[in-house]
Amino acid sequence: MNPEKVVFGFFILLALTLNVGFVVGEIDNPAHHHIWELGAVFVVNAVATVLKLGDRTQIGAILLATSLVAMLQLIVAVGVWTIVVHTTAEGMTPGAMASIVSLAAGAVVANIVSVVLLIIETVMLRR
């Protein structure tokens, strides 16, 4: 067993599961989406992105692209949360929370593509 592949797969799968955990719940209810969970999603996705930088294959390039898409979605979600909470008089509104969760859901899609590609690559290596 290759420890590098285990760590790689672990972070890709953890990024997806944490992201799904953040997105699940009523889309506009701030009580269902915690800032620390979004922070954990962001950090784990960043680690997964860094781990994908060393792969020079075509599928590695696509894996990196999926991670960059997820990171962009999460950076905007964190930015919206920060702006809404710290610069607006209303604070967190249902509409703002829906926007944040929608952005995180976009990152979920990118993470799902990443996991599917990892499974495809694993199956192809067995042949």
Tokens of 62: 């696509």
Express each pLDDT in 33-42 by its tens digit.
999 999 999 9
Express each pLDDT in 72-105 by its tens digit.
999 999 999 999 999 999 989 999 999 999 999 9
Please tell me the predicted confidence (pLDDT) of residue 126: 66
- Tally of structural domains, the chain: 1
CA dist., res. 42 & res. 67, Å (int): 11
For 48-70, what is the mean pLDDT? 91
Domain region containing 23:
3-126
- If one compares 1 and 71, the residue with the highest pLDDT of the two is 71
Which amino acid, one-letter code, is at 110?
A: A
